[in-house]
Structure 1
Amino acid sequence: MSRNADSEPEGRVLPLARPPIRRSVLVRAPRERTWAVFVGRMAEWWPLDLFSAGRERVRDVTVDPRVGGTVAEVWDDGTTLPWGEVLTCAEPEHFAMTWNITGTPTEVALRFRAVAPALTKVDLEHTGWDRLSADELRADCALPGGYSGGAIATGWDRILAALQRAAAEEDE
């Protein structure tokens, strides 16, 4: 049984069936370095064994840092698999891209905010889950439970923790 907007009580806000994933992390590094590690050194810190299509075959992750540019994994045989298209590239503050790994594109946006000279808050928002089919949400992914089981949220926790470590390591 379906309902239309006119049948809902006035002023009632319905929760999103598939809300955005939001994550934040504090990185013990200046904002410019955190940005440079995220955009320029992704293959060095991204957990490719879990979060890539090529896994052990991936030799690089490239980011063409301009609107319309591509983020892609490059395999040892030269195969290139696009992860998405850059939507926003405002160094060192905001980066957004489509995320095409799910089948239907979603969007990932990151904001880099300096909270101290050597401390950066990175806020991530992954939206567009409402566009995915039930089959896409149930699809197998790197972590148990698939996307519908919350694996993508756990995945972003792992990815941001890897960024946090990589950006901070330069001071050691």
Structure 2
Amino acid sequence: MATEVVPPIRRSLVVPLSQADAFDLFVRRLADWWPLATISLGRLEAASCHIEPSIGGRVFERARDGTEALWGTVVAWDAPWRLAFTWHPGRAPASAQEVEVRFVEVLAAQTRVEVVHRGWERAGERAAPMRARHDEGWQAILARFEALSRGETAPPEPREPGGCGG
């Protein structure tokens, strides 16, 4: 039986930051805007999340007790233009999707951030429902990123656990 192609999630937003600052906020300040209490493996025990800044670097969360859980691995690092990483929090790397984030300068202090989350076919029968959960998750995640980019307090975390884990 052939695996059905599941379309990628595509999200785009414009933030009032330079390309370098948008990249920096996304990568180096990930824990400032990522909704860890609802979109993580550890939920309320998750203390921070990180992207190691090089190809082969880890994308991971750290719990309050110091334990770490792998979310994925950096596969492209072209600062400040592009970042890509595998995505398999709580799952085997063989089932990973890929997240690509591009930072396109619109004006000197305005950048379009484009997120493409693809490779759902690797999840087999779970692909369509998993994609639907992640689509909702990215909406909440990027709303927090956008608010912080504007100097606002990030919106509250989603009430229900989102879909970026498992």
Q: Which of the five TM-score ranges fits, normalised by the shorter chain?
A: 0.7 to 0.9
Contact 1:25 1:161 in 2 (8 A): no
Tell me the secondary structure at the aligned position of residue 51 of structure 1.
coil
Q: Take 2:31 and 2:20, find their aligned partners in 1: how far apart are those partners? A: 18
Tell me the secondary structure at the aligned position of residue 24 of structure 2.
helix
Q: Take 1:102 and 1:31, find their aligned partners in 2: how far apart are those partners? A: 31
- Residue matched to 1:130: 121
- Residue matched to 1:19: 7
When the two chains are superposed, the root-mean-square deviation of aligned CA atoms in Å is 1.9
Pair 1:121 & 2:112 matched: yes
Q: State the Cα distance separating 1:49 from its structure 2 match.
A: 1.8
- Residue matched to 2:130: 147
Contact 2:40 2:61 in 1 (8 A): yes
Q: State the Cα distance separating 1:30 from its structure 2 match.
A: 1.4
- Residue matched to 1:34: 22
Tell me the secondary structure at the aligned position of residue 36 of structure 2.
coil
Pair 1:87 & 2:70 matched: no
Q: State the Cα distance separating 1:75 from its structure 2 match.
A: 0.4
The two structures have a TM-score, normalised by structure 1, of 0.80
Tell me the secondary structure at the aligned position of residue 169 of structure 1.
coil
Q: Take 2:47 and 2:120, find their aligned partners in 1: how far apart are those partners? A: 29
Q: Take 2:122 and 2:145, find their aligned partners in 1: how far apart are those partners? A: 28
The two structures have a TM-score, normalised by structure 2, of 0.82
- Residue matched to 1:161: 143
Pair 1:111 & 2:102 matched: yes
- Residue matched to 2:161: none
- Residue matched to 1:11: none
Q: Which of 32, 55, 70 in structure 1 is aligned with 2:58? A: 70
Question: Gaps spanning 5+ residues in structure 2: where?
Answer: 153-166
Q: State the Cα distance separating 1:119 from its structure 2 match.
A: 1.0
Write the letter of the residue equivalent to 1:94: R
Write the letter of the residue equivalent to 2:111: T
Tell me the secondary structure at the aligned position of residue 114 of structure 1.
strand
Range with greater deviation from structure 2 (102-111 or 39-48): 102-111
Q: How many residues align?
A: 148
Q: Take 1:152 and 1:31, find their aligned partners in 2: how far apart are those partners? A: 25
- Residue matched to 2:156: none
- Residue matched to 2:87: 99
Q: Take 1:168 and 1:35, find their aligned partners in 2: how far apart are those partners? A: 14
Tell me the secondary structure at the aligned position of residue 107 of structure 1.
strand
Task: Report sequence identity in percent.
Answer: 34
Tell me the secondary structure at the aligned position of residue 133 of structure 1.
helix
Q: State the Cα distance separating 1:102 from its structure 2 match.
A: 6.6
- Residue matched to 2:164: none
Runs of 4+ residues deviating >3 angstroms: none
Write the letter of the residue equivalent to 1:20: P
Q: State the Cα distance separating 1:137 from its structure 2 match.
A: 3.5
Question: Gaps spanning 5+ residues in structure 1: where?
Answer: 4-15, 139-145
Q: Take 1:167 and 1:36, find their aligned partners in 2: how far apart are those partners? A: 11
- Residue matched to 1:12: none
